[in-house]
Amino acid sequence: MNHEDFAIFLEDFVDLLNGLEASIVKMKQQIARLVGVSEEQRADFKREWSWNPEAIKWEKVQGAKGEFEKSEDVDNPEFKKMLKDLAGHGGKLTRNGWFYWTYKNGSVVGRKRRAKRGARQG
C-alpha cells in the first residue's frame, strides 16, 4: 500500500466514523422523543455551564465540509474556561445545538451548528 492509497483509506475511514456518529445522534434523538425529554434538556438541567460562547470572538470559516466558526480568543477568560471544559471532554463537546472541538495545537477552537430538532439556543 503506497502513501496515496493509505490517505484514501484514512479519508474513507473518517467518513465511516462520521456516518456512525450521525446515526448515533439520530438514534439518541429518537429515544429522547419517545421518552418525551431531549438528551440536551436533561444535560442542561444537570449541568450549569461555566462559560458563555457569546462572549467569545468567533470568525466564520469555509471548510471542506461547509461553513463553521473558529476562535483564537486566547486572552478572553470565557475562552479559557471553554478550553478547560473541552479538555475535560477529550477536546469535543456539544452544547445547546453547537458542536465544539479543539484543534491539535490546543489554542484554537472550532464550532459548528448541529442540526437538531428542538435544540435550544444559548
Looking at the domain assignment, is residue 43 inside a domain?
A: no
Q: Which residue has the cell 478547560?
A: 84
Question: Looking at the domain assignment, is residue 41 inside a domain?
Answer: no
The residue with cell 472550532 is 110
Residue 53 has pLDDT above 60, yes or no: yes
The phi and psi torsions of 116 (rounded to 5 degrees) equal -130, 140
Give the CA diameter of the chain: 51
Residue 20: pLDDT above 80?
Answer: yes
| Residues 98 and 67 occupy one common structural domain | yes
If pLDDT is split at 50, 70 and 90, which confidence band does 120 have? very low
**Whether residue 73 sits in one domain with residue 99:** yes
Closest CA to 86 of 68, 67, 105: 105
Q: Rounded CA gap, 16 and 3, in Å?
A: 20
Domain span at residue 22? Answer: 1-36
Per-residue pLDDT tens digits for 27-42: 877 877 777 665 555 5
In a domain, 111, yes or no: yes
H/E segment holding residue 70: strand 66-71
Predicted TM-score of the model (pTM): 0.57
Cell of 45: 438541567
Supply the pLDDT for residue 27: 84
pLDDT of 105 reads 87
What's the grid cell of residue 74? 486566547
- Give tens-digit pLDDT for 104-119: 988 899 999 987 555 4
Q: Are residues 75 and 99 in the same domain?
A: yes
Between 31-35, 62-66, 82-86, the lowest mean confidence (pLDDT) is in 31-35
Asked whether residue 27 is assigned to any structural domain, the reply reads: yes
Q: Are residues 30 and 52 in the same domain?
A: no
